[in-house]
């Protein structure tokens, strides 16, 4: 029985179809290592450290009570309401004075070799991603300033909560949300 061109074409299509579906298995040599590159968007789904007994110490900084006591931090006169300016991460003169006191304490004082966590925060006006990034910029600004005065980068853990725990509902409340909390690491 002779085959027709249609049958030859159908047979060829079947062979090509089976070949396309066939996958060669790779030889198991080493396990695949997951990509550890951080994602472009950093989300903080888990709750941050509980911030209690914070003392406002400057325009944009609130510090845990144990840090204030151990380092004998002298709060700035403007510290009644710690805040960064809206949409800014610039440190004020008062902020820099407080951070210099903290750096001295962490390099030659009672906290020599100890670490702190810097938690950047934002008010709720903006997208979640934007506020997380702004909080990160704020904690980075504080960290960079501390390292200029001799604090080792390994002593600093920088994080952001953005507006995830913001409580303000008006300008005065939002101003309080725009800050960096500084906590002594356990």
User: Which of 186, 23, 9, 17 lies closest to 115 in space, CA to CA?
Assistant: 186
Instruction: Give the C-alpha separation, 179 to 88, whole Å.
Output: 10
Q: Look at residue 87 and tell me if it is in a domain.
A: yes
Q: Is 121 a member of any domain?
A: yes
User: Tell me, what's the pLDDT at 53?
Assistant: 64
In sequence order, what are the beta bridge partners of 180?
A: 61, 120
Q: Tell me, yes or no, whether 6 lies in a domain.
A: no
The domain of 110 spans 54-184
- Using CB atoms within 10 A of its CB, is residue 131 exposed (0-12), middle (13-18) or buried (19+)? buried
Rounded CA-CA distance 39/46 in Å is 16
Rounded Cα distance, 132 and 141, in Å: 14
CATH number at residue 106: 3.30.1330.60
Within a domain: 146: yes
For residue 102, what pLDDT is reported?
96
Does residue 76 lie within any of the structural domains? yes
Please tell me the pTM assigned to this model.
0.69
Give me 117's structure tokens: 């966590």
- Tens of pLDDT along the chain (186 residues)? 555 554 454 454 444 444 444 444 444 443 343 333 333 333 344 444 444 567 788 878 889 989 999 999 988 877 655 578 888 999 988 899 999 999 999 999 999 999 999 999 999 999 999 999 999 999 999 999 999 999 999 999 999 999 999 999 999 889 889 999 999 998
Q: Report if residue 144 sits inside a domain.
A: yes
pLDDT score at 165: 93
Residue 42 lies in a domain: no
What's the first-to-final CA gap in the chain, in angstroms? 87
In a domain, 12, yes or no: no
Tell me the sheet residues that pair with 159: 119
How many separate domains does the chain show?
A: 1
pLDDT of residue 8: 52
Q: Rounded to the nearest 5°, which phi and psi values hold at 167?
A: -120, -10
């Amino acid at each position: 029985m002779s085959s027709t061109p249609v049958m030859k074409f159908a047979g060829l299509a079947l062979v090509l179809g089976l070949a396309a579906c066939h996958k060669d298995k790779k030889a198991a040599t080493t396990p695949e290592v997951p990509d550890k590159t951080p994602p472009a968007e950093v989300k903080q789904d888990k709750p941050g450290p509980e911030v209690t007994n914070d003392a406002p110490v400057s325009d944009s900084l609130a510090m845990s009570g144990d840090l204030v006591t151990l380092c004998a931090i002298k709060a700035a006169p403007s510290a009644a309401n710690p805040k960064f300016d809206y949409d800014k991460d610039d440190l004020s003169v008062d902020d820099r004075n407080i951070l210099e006191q903290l750096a001295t304490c962490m390099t030659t004082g009672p906290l020599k070799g100890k670490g702190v966590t810097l938690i950047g925060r934002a008010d709720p006006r903006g997208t979640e991603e934007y506020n997380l990034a702004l909080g990160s910029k704020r904690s980075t600004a504080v960290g960079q300033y501390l390292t200029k005065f001799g604090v080792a980068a390994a002593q600093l853990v920088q994080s952001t909560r953005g507006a995830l725990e913001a409580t303000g509902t008006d300008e005065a409340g939002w101003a309080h949300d725009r800050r960096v909390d500084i906590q002594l690491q356990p």
